[in-house]
Amino acid sequence: MRYAYFPGCKIPHHLPEYGSSVEAVCAALGIELVKLEFNCCGWPVRHENELASIFSAVRNFAIAEEAGLHILTPCKCCFGNLKYAVSRLEEDRKLALLVGSLLARDGLAMPRSMHVSHLLTILDEQVGVEILQRHAATPLTGVKVACHYGCHALRPGNVTGFDDPLAPTLFERIIRALGAETVDWDLRLECCGHPLRGRDDVISDALMRKKLEGAASAGADVIATACTYCQLQFDKERDLLPVNAALRQAPPAVLVTQLIGTALGLDSGAVGMDKNNIPWHAPIL
Amino acid sequence: MHFFDFGLSIASVICVAGVARRIALWWRPTTKPVSDPRPRPILSAVKALVLDVLLLARTVRTGPLRWLAHCLVFFGFMGLLLFHALDETVTVSFFPAYESTLDPWQFLRNLFAAMTLAGLGLMIYRRLAVRRLRAVTRTQDWAIVLAVGCIILSGVFLEMSKIISPAAYQRMADEYFYSDNGQEVTALKAFWAHEYGVVFSRRLPSDAATLEMGAELNEDNCAACHADTRSAFLSRSLATALAPLSPAMNTSRADTVFWYFHMIFCFIGLAALPFAKFFHPLSTPANMIARQGRRDGDAESPLAQRMGMDACTRCGECSVRCSVAPSFSVLGNPDILPSEKLASLRRFWSDGSLAGRPLADFAQGSRICTECLRCTDVCPSGINLQDLWMRSKKEVARRSPDPNGAVRLMRPSQRVVSFEDCNIVPPISGLADNAESYWACVQCTTCTSVCPVVAVCEDPSTDLDLTPQQIMNLLRMGLKDQTLGARMVWSCTTCYKCQEHCPQNIRVADVLYELRNTAAARMGCGDRAGIDGESQ
């Protein structure tokens, strides 16, 4: 298993623990990550200029194709935008020509095929639940996990093809393989609110609160995230609330690779659990 | 010499005053909170001095060609500066027997010059060959290459003109060669003409006996202070190449002319040191030592930030590798690229002269940046660009709001009508304008009832202006302009639930994206109109 690793823009500075834990988990499970110099996936600029967004996305596919690799990303927003660009090129011939001419100016060719997978898909389809179970040296027995899916991977389902957009099961399968329990959580498919950060902080906070309260009332110990932005919202942004805010007591957010890394017994420095602002410790049995 | 003393004094005064002013600006009082970067051991500053400043370790990572080019110029020019320009201070104190006309100095001078010229050549090649670098190259980038190149070339021409000059020969002969014997005088001249390349106006004998006698006289009177000019390989080759012009150069005293040229270029270089990119030989090492080899984007003190802003060499490496550079390819706004944005940030913070269109462009560059840390990681000068972007973003957005901020600043009545008299469309559009997009819409309100944003609003009609289903209704009636300012359009969290759940497969979320694109494009057109109005 060899993939072009697409961490996205936010990991290097804002969430380095996701990057280090992804690399550690992939190394432990035999997934080789090749680091190419990608550019932004184009999602952030889509609010302002869709052509810039799609060109950014397709340029990454061109870079991956030059290396003969498929893209693997741990970020749902990067995944969603890369997928969206593929669907737009397929339906709009004129747009494809325009993007092709922009690529040519950078000395790149229009990629013949464009493949991107989210990390969860690779863990589920390529690694498999059995291998995960077998590698889980310290299973997360008794931990109740609320799986947070992340909008941009899930919807629109016909574009992303990630899982059943109305009743997905992929995330839970992986978490259960680690020995943890998954809780039945009504809001697991809802938005974390991060896309509105800086645009409408009131609604962003309201969406975050609703989700965290929902996870707490579902009886979860932790919320598992598999997206850079979701984790930033539930951890770093939540930490900006007043020190006495009740929401701090809601289940902490933990990256899926941190949970896997803990179950696999990987080096704690790479897993980076101590870098989370709202702390969580795996129970010691 | 009057000219020399006068020129040097003027250039030195400009240089010292300018450098003092720029360094003083680093300590300007600040209203921004002073943060405490983590203290680091002094040893890492020494390490940075050796690795980053002397060995250009940061430049290595940006490619072997760039490193080679910079090393050639750096070591070549520093060699000339220390052992040639400052020879009476530096060279003499280390090597008391120093004579500029002896080897290895004569040879080294040419070697250093050749290194510098080769380095400059590579730099010019790179600036022309890398497309994005060419796009960000400004006058000052060519100016510094030209200034250094002129200093070196005028020096080579000066040495060449001295080699061929009979006047220069006569000056040396008068001082060191005491002889009344006409045969000896001719023999030495013949030797110098034949071996050392002096071009006399009169033809001199070149028979073996005369030359042998000349060689002996040279050995006795000259060799202790003057080496064979062949070791000055650049100047001597140039003299050979320009041989047909030699008599003319000698009659017009080219050696004096080139001396003036060389001095004037050196004075210009010295006086230009405190300005623009010419300052980087001082500010960049200072910044690298202050950064102590770090590559992170942690918060810095205002002093370190200002030092960093001055340390930019405009090498363009950040812009070549910027994560959001594809947006520059589409939008054409240079301020999206870090090296250009840094220049605008300097203006934004220092004199407040940034306004109108340049401010709007800078604000767009500022918000399109995704804070991916790459520019900071690759910067060969070790500038903490990440911290500069993060620190300035909020302030920039306040002075020049993004489309979202601008819409939110409008009064409700403005939000409905603001976009009516402008027909600019974004590069990708058609979904919102196409009646087919909504033919199937039956106004079932599913989009509104599944919307998480509507769900968390106490009163959607006052908080959001319109609900998703109302927007779709206006659009299918062709009333697009009236939806562009609706806060629902801007508060859409892009979760795609509306689109996923729509029983009629209307692309609700994609339409909302397009509406934001349209409004953004139209606001750009409004700005331009404003600037035109100002200039009239």
Q: How far is B373 from chain A (nearest CA, A)?
A: 6
Please give the Cα distance from B266 to A217 (Å, whole number): 76
Residues of A with Cβ-Cβ distance to B377 under 8 angstroms? 12
Contact B177, B263 (CB under 8 A): no
Indicate the burial class of B435 (C-beta count within 10 angstroms; 0-12, 13-18, 19 or more). Answer: exposed
Residues of A with Cβ-Cβ distance to B457 under 8 angstroms? 203
* Adjacent-strand bridge partners of A35: A5
For chain B, which ranges sit under pLDDT 70? Answer: 1, 30-39, 525-536
Element spanning B526, H or E: helix B508-535
pTM: 0.92
- The answer to whether the CB atoms of A95 and B325 lie below 8 A apart is no
B179/A150: higher pLDDT: A150
Q: Which residue of B has its CA nearest to A46?
A: B513
- The answer to whether the CB atoms of A44 and B368 lie below 8 A apart is yes
Q: How far is A132 from chain B (nearest CA, A)?
A: 30
Q: Which of residues 404-433 of B touch A (CB under 8 A)?
A: 404, 426-428
**Phi, psi for residue A34 in degrees, rounded to 5:** -100, 125
Task: Number of A to B CB contacts under 8 A, please give it.
Answer: 147
Q: Which of A151, A126, A129 is nearest to A230 (CA)?
A: A151
- The answer to whether the CB atoms of B517 and A52 lie below 8 A apart is no
Q: Beta strand A32-35 with A71-73: parallel, antiparallel or unpaired?
A: unpaired
* DSSP helix/strand/coil, B121: helix
Q: How far is A177 from chain B (nearest CA, A)?
A: 28
Q: What per-residue confidence (pLDDT) applies to B203?
A: 86
Q: How far is B68 from chain A (nearest CA, A)?
A: 23
Q: How far is A24 from chain B (nearest CA, A)?
A: 21
Tokens linked to B289: 């030592």
Q: Which amino acid is residue A63, in one-letter code?
A: I
Q: Which residue of B has its CA nearest to A165?
A: B500
Pick A50's closest partner by Cβ from B329, B364, B426: B426
Indicate the burial class of A50 (C-beta count within 10 angstroms; 0-12, 13-18, 19 or more). Answer: buried
Q: What number of residues does chain A have?
A: 285
- The answer to whether the CB atoms of A50 and B517 lie below 8 A apart is yes
DSSP letter for each residue of B307-345: HHHHT-----HHHHH-TTHHHHHHH--GGGSHHHHHHHH
Please give the Cα distance from B166 to B154 (Å, whole number): 20
Per-residue model confidence as pLDDT tens digits over B117-174: 999 999 999 999 998 899 899 999 999 999 999 999 999 999 999 999 999 999 999 9
Q: Which residue of A has its CA nearest to B523?
A: A48
Q: Which residue of B has its CA nearest to A48?
A: B517
Q: Which residue of B has its CA nearest to A159?
A: B500
Q: What per-residue confidence (pLDDT) applies to B261?
A: 97
Q: Is B33 on the interface with A (CB under 8 A)?
A: no
Please, which residues have CB within 8 angstroms of residue B374's CB and are 6 or more apart in sequence?
A12, B318, B321, B322, B323
Q: Which of B324, B349, B341, B335 is nearest to B383 (CA)?
A: B341
Contact A37, B318 (CB under 8 A): no
Pick B427's closest partner by Cβ from A49, A151, A204: A49
Q: Is B370 on the interface with A (CB under 8 A)?
A: yes
Mean pLDDT, chain A, rounded, equals: 96
Q: Is B495 on the interface with A (CB under 8 A)?
A: yes
* Adjacent-strand bridge partners of A222: A145
- The answer to whether the CB atoms of A52 and B377 lie below 8 A apart is no
ipTM for the assembly: 0.96
Q: Within chain A, where are the H helices?
A: 10-14, 16-28, 50-66, 76-91, 93-105, 119-122, 129-135, 151-154, 157-160, 170-177, 201-217, 228-231, 256-264, 268-271
Indicate the burial class of B100 (C-beta count within 10 angstroms; 0-12, 13-18, 19 or more). Answer: middle
Per-residue model confidence as pLDDT tens digits over A97-131: 999 999 999 999 999 999 999 999 999 999 999 99
Q: Which of A228, A229, A211 is nearest to A220 (CA)?
A: A211
Please, which residues have CB within 8 angstroms of residue B487's CB and are 6 or more apart in sequence?
A200, B407, B408, B415, B463, B464, B465
Pick A156's closest partner by Cβ from B131, B427, B500: B500
Pick B326's closest partner by Cβ from A50, A52, A190: A52
Tokens linked to A208: 């975050």
Strand order in the sheet with A222-225: A181-182, A144-147, A222-225, A253-255
- The answer to whether the CB atoms of B426 and A49 lie below 8 A apart is yes
Residues of B with Cβ-Cβ distance to A16 under 8 angstroms? none
- The answer to whether the CB atoms of B326 and A56 lie below 8 A apart is yes
Pick B323's closest partner by Cβ from A9, A14, A50: A9
Give, as one character, the DSSP assignment of residue B243.
G
Terminal CA-CA length for chain A = 34
Q: How far is A101 from chain B (nearest CA, A)?
A: 11
User: Binning pLDDT at 50, 70 and 90, where does residue A285 land?
Assistant: low
Tokens linked to B447: 């989009």
Please give the Cα distance from B182 to B368 (Å, whole number): 82
- The answer to whether the CB atoms of B499 and A52 lie below 8 A apart is no
Residues of B with Cβ-Cβ distance to A165 under 8 angstroms? 500
Q: What per-residue confidence (pLDDT) applies to B61?
A: 87
- The answer to whether the CB atoms of A9 and B330 lie below 8 A apart is no
* ∠ CA B496-B445-B521, rounded to 5°: 50
Q: Is B100 on the interface with A (CB under 8 A)?
A: no
Please give the Cα distance from B485 to B467 (Å, whole number): 13
Per-residue model confidence as pLDDT tens digits over A76-87: 999 999 999 999
**Phi, psi for residue B465 in degrees, rounded to 5:** 70, -55
- The answer to whether the CB atoms of B329 and A195 lie below 8 A apart is no
Q: What per-residue confidence (pLDDT) applies to B1?
A: 63
Pick B513's closest partner by Cβ from A14, A37, A46: A46
Per-residue model confidence as pLDDT tens digits over A181-219: 999 999 999 999 999 999 999 999 999 999 999 999 999
- The answer to whether the CB atoms of A155 and B329 lie below 8 A apart is no
Please give the Cα distance from A192 to A233 (Å, whole number): 7
